[in-house]
Structures are given as structure tokens and as C-alpha cells.
Amino acid sequence: MGWIGKNSNLINPKNGSYFFIAELILDLELEPDAPIKDYCGTCTRCIDACPTDAIIKPYVVDGSKCISYFTIELRDALPAALMNNFDNWAFGCDICQEVCPWNRFSKPTAEPDFYPKKEILEMNTEEWNEISEDVFKKYSTIPSQSSRL
């Protein structure tokens, strides 16, 4: 599928790191592909660009410094010492992926369920700050596969 980059993301030579991984459970014997060589080379763009220095060395991310951890997983208040590094990100930052030269090969999805909803794009800062759980659930729900059959 690819190699693990210095930003700890899986990188595919044809698609970069912007993709979802799925698993198929089969009752067939399959021959695995050979591992892909690491093509990061001497590049350190992801390390150099990380706004919180979460990539502490090649292939090692300190999750306790990563904006994605703070904005997606952390249930406590955001740490005051890092607040100036958060810019306007509400859900991760992805800078380590944006600067990765391999992502020049990635293409936007053609899956309509992944397109942003118009109502979300039109929300202002005050609406985001005051968002209710019901509104969040309404706009963050992706229709199930069975509802589209």
C-alpha cells in the first residue's frame, strides 16, 4: 500500500497520504505484495512545518503535541501554552500532509458524501462557537450505505 512517512502517515507513491484505509475479510488465500521502499529520503518538510513540533524526530509523532489530537480526541480544555499555534483549525491541521511532496499526486474525492455541506460552509464564527449537539449531529452524519440502496 505504501510506506510510513516521517510524519507517521501511510504514503502511497501514486496517491500521497490523502486516502482512507479499509479492510476486506475474505475466505481466500492471497499472496501479499512486497513492502514498498521508504521514499522520504532526506526530506524533512513535514518535520520543519509542524506548528507544535509534534514530529519530534523522523517517524515519531508526540501525540500530546499534535493539533489533531487536541481538536479531535482531547476531551479536556486545550492547553493555554499551545493556543497560539492552533490558528483557526477546528479539526486537526494536516500541515504535515500539505507540505509532503508526495501529495502532489493526490486527487479530490468524487464521493459526494465527503463533500462539505453548504450549511456548514455558511456558518460564521459565532455559530461555530455556539453550536449545539443537535446541530453538530445533523451536519456531521453521513448517510449509511443501506440508505442509499
What's the pLDDT tens digit per position in 61-90? 998 888 888 778 877 777 777 667 666 776
Residue 147 has pLDDT above 60, yes or no: no
Strand partners, 10: 4
Q: How far is the C-alpha of 25 from the C-alpha of 128, rounded, in Å?
A: 40
Q: What is the pLDDT of residues 77-128, one digit of tens each?
A: 777 776 676 667 767 788 999 999 999 988 888 888 888 888 888 988 888 8
Residue written as cell 526530506? 43
Residue 15 grid coordinates:
496517491
Q: How far is the C-alpha of 68 from the C-alpha of 134, rounded, in Å?
A: 23
pTM: 0.72
